[in-house]
Amino acid sequence: MNGPRDPGIELFRVAGVQIAIDWSWLVIFLLVLWSLAAGYFPRAYPGYGRPAYLGIGAAATCLFFASVLLHELAHAVVGNRLGERVRRITLFVFGGMAHLSGEPATARTELRIAAVGPLTSLVLAGVFWGGSRAAAATQTTPLVVAMLEYLAAINLALALFNLLPGFPLDGGRILRSVLWMRSKDLRQATARAADWGVGIAFGLIGLGVVSIFGGSLVGGLWLVFIGMFLRGAARTSYENVVVTRALGGARVRDVMITDPVTVPADASVEEAVESGFLRHGFGGFPVSEGGRVAGLVSLRDVLHCPAADRRRRRVRDVMQPLGPELAIPARASVGDALRRMTDAQVGRLLVTDDGHVVGLVTRTGIVRFVQFRTELERS
């Protein structure tokens, strides 16, 4: 899968791609480890001690998530080779996500990027299965053979699940690429692939409910959660395409605020609240110091400052200093601005031109721009 998510905890870089984990990943890692070390292996292969089960469970869990990472890394490597920037992969509770810089340029490009993920999982399934046969032939301990067989099965399941023709799963992206090639209309192809995604999501939710009533509470709830996530992701992905189409070739300079209200860096946080947030009703402001813009202060920054300290602490103490992640060139596309806001988890960016701050672009302003343009196109 691909799309925007919280940057998470950065780990390392591979082939120029930043690998990160979302906090939710820790939950699923521990859940998988517990289910293998305390459930699957002891039931299937009794007679070993707890340390043996814990060790083989930990090894299987790490190799499983390494397989997920390789699946996503395959998307990233192929995407970068085809000119689609993929700079980050995030592992989270429902698997992994490669962050594409935007929609693929052509249907064939999307087909190649989408197909390589399931293909990688199928290859890994074959490798682990071959390893299990080789281990069994050399009379390796049955727990190791069992681990390799499990990894072969889970990679096969990962490939088949991702091949379901529901957007934004890999199968849904393959479906969209085919529809796109036929219709030459990305929005229409996305709408149809997203409908498939919603249909599959409801199917998973229904299957989960049946499983719950059949006595499989944990497995049923997991299917329900996956279905709910897929349903939301399908609709969000379609909305992103609609927004991108509505933005057209709009640049940041077209939607930015050219003379934004600022707050001084040496003002107290309490003064910023009274004269800035409450007076103007904005969610954030550029911070001025010495005749230049020094950073941004948002309502979230203020809320992180205890109420008892707001009279004593200065705005410079709580603001986000001006840096590359908070600034964007005026010539950049509005789509790039939205992606930058998502990655930095902010609602506004400072706009620069030749190294000078010339304005402010906000998520609210972009949404309003899209709404107006969409309504005007419909009239």
**Residues labelled as active-site residues:** 72
CA angle 140, 144, 150 (to 5 degrees): 135
CA angle 24, 29, 32 (to 5 degrees): 130
Beta strands in the chain (DSSP E): 9-14, 17-21, 86-92, 95-100, 263-264, 284-289, 292-298, 320-321, 327-329, 348-353, 356-362
Backbone angles phi, psi at 96, to 5 degrees: -140, 165
Cα–Cα distance, 284 to 299 (Å, whole number): 6
The full 3-state SS of 306-354, as one line of letters, equals CHHHCCCCEHHHHCEECCHHHEEECCCEHHHHHHHHHHHCCCEEEEEEC
- Could you tell me if 78 and 108 are in contact, meaning their C-beta atoms sit under 8 angstroms apart? no
- Could you tell me if 102 and 244 are in contact, meaning their C-beta atoms sit under 8 angstroms apart? yes
Give how far Cα 115 sits from Cα of 164, 201, 231, Å: 12, 21, 21
Strand partners, 357: 352
Token reading at 156: 């096969």
Element (H, E) at 78: helix 50-81
Element (H, E) at 282: none
Element (H, E) at 93: none
DSSP state of 98: E
Closest by CA to 344, choosing from 3, 8, 90, is 8
